[in-house]
Chain A
Amino acid sequence: MTDVTPYLIVSAVLFSIGATGVLIRRNAIVVFMCIELMLNAANLSLVSFSNLHGNLEGQVTAFFVMVVAAAEVVIGLAIIMTIFRSRRSASIDDASLLKW
């Protein structure tokens, strides 16, 4: 019988790395990749909880997270493309038109 805690630790570490990446990186595409990393970390804990409790609800939820992540990536990358087209830059510092 395997212990669930190591899986949760890895999930937490990956999530924290993703959150740090969102704060630290300034290329919009890399920031987006870090968001994907956070979603994946959440999925890992969902799947391990599914195994812990011996039912499949966690896997179904992970599946829905994946679907939503795919839709989110499509829209997000389209937005990044649109911003790049008008500003010639993928840096999040340059999209500051609404800054007071």
Chain B
Amino acid sequence: MTATFVVTAPLMILSALGILVVRKAVHAALLLAVVMINLAFVYASLDAPFLFAVQIIVYTGAVLMLFLFVLMLVGVDVSDEVTESIRGHKVASLLLGLILAVVVLAMIGQLSLGTMKGLATANGAGIRGGGNLEALANLLFSRYVVAFEATSALLITAAVGAMVLAHRERTEPKSTQAELARERVRAYGENGLHLGPLPAPGTLARHNAVDTPALLPDGSHAKQSIPAGLHGHPKSGAAIEAKP
């Protein structure tokens, strides 16, 4: 056991356990980032400098940022429901996970694998006696070259698939500026809606943030001054100001 492992292993296990218990998905994503960065350090201590860099770049850089991105799109406030839809679901899941851990750990306990040989000779076997990167490249581009080419096909398929899934077809043509103006004047003629621009947020209010509604002369909120999505949002400026 190296010093790196002694420090990172408890951190990894504690943060992984945290993923199970935290209520918010953002916290789970950040705890997963802790696990992955610590794992990268373990890789570095296991003579795998290339995987150390890939772990940081691909996992904490790309994958976790993608997770956070989707979380922001879905809404950060979306959290797990507290009620159980199946009775005893949590207890049963915990029990199953515990059984899995016991079985695998018992299996590991029965093995005697000996000590690590280290990768000094393998890393030196690359072209021109280079390091880990050269030795890995030597393997990747000779024995595993077909698999390597297949991964490129896989990545392209994944990118195209994501674009197809995320694409939204416009069902009606986009309305032009002239149409919007005509619609506005019609609304004025029929319902007497205000013809001019909407009131700006924060006018005469305490803050000028976009979620703070403008105040009318009688001190009430001008509803139209904030975006429709923020109406009734528990964290909007209106709700915070309304609190005593």
Contact = CB atoms under 8 A, between A and B. Distances in A.
B144 A23 contact: no
B104 A16 contact: yes
Interface string A42-54: 0110011011111
A97 B17 CA distance: 32
Contacts of A29: 25, 29, 67, 70-71, 74
B59 A66 contact: yes
**Interface SS of A by simple majority:** helix
A57 B143 CA distance: 10
A91 to B, nearest CB: 6
A33 B96 contact: no
Interface residues of B, number: 83
Interface in B57-80: 58-59, 62-63, 66-67, 70-71, 73-74, 78-80
Contacts of A18: 16
A24 B100 contact: no
B116 A25 contact: no
Contacts, number: 243
Contact of A47 (B43, B80, B90, B111): B43
A48 to B, nearest CB: 6
Nearest to B63: A73
A51 B117 contact: yes
Interface stretch (B45-53, B188-196, B205-213, B236-244): B45-53
Interface in A20-75: 20-21, 23-27, 29-30, 32-34, 36-37, 40, 43-44, 47-48, 50-57, 59-60, 62-64, 66-75
**Interface SS of B by simple majority:** helix
B101 interface: yes
Contacts of B228: none
B42 A57 contact: no
Given A27-B25, A52-B117, A36 B50 contact: no
Contact of A32 (B12, B43, B67): B67
B47 A51 contact: yes
Query: Interface size bucket, A side?
Result: 35 or more
Contact of B158 (A20, A56, A71): A71
Given A47-B46, A75-B162, 6 more contacts: A19-B100, A27-B79, A50-B48, A51-B118, A56-B122, A70-B155
Interface of A: 1-10, 12-21, 23-27, 29-30, 32-34, 36-37, 40, 43-44, 47-48, 50-57, 59-60, 62-64, 66-75, 77-82, 84-85, 89-91, 93
Interface of B: 1-2, 5, 9, 12-13, 16-17, 19-20, 25, 28-29, 32, 35-36, 39, 42-43, 46-48, 50-51, 54-55, 58-59, 62-63, 66-67, 70-71, 73-74, 78-81, 85, 89-90, 92-94, 96-98, 100-101, 104-105, 108, 111, 113-119, 121-123, 132, 135-136, 139-140, 144, 147, 151, 154-155, 157-159, 161-162, 165-166, 168
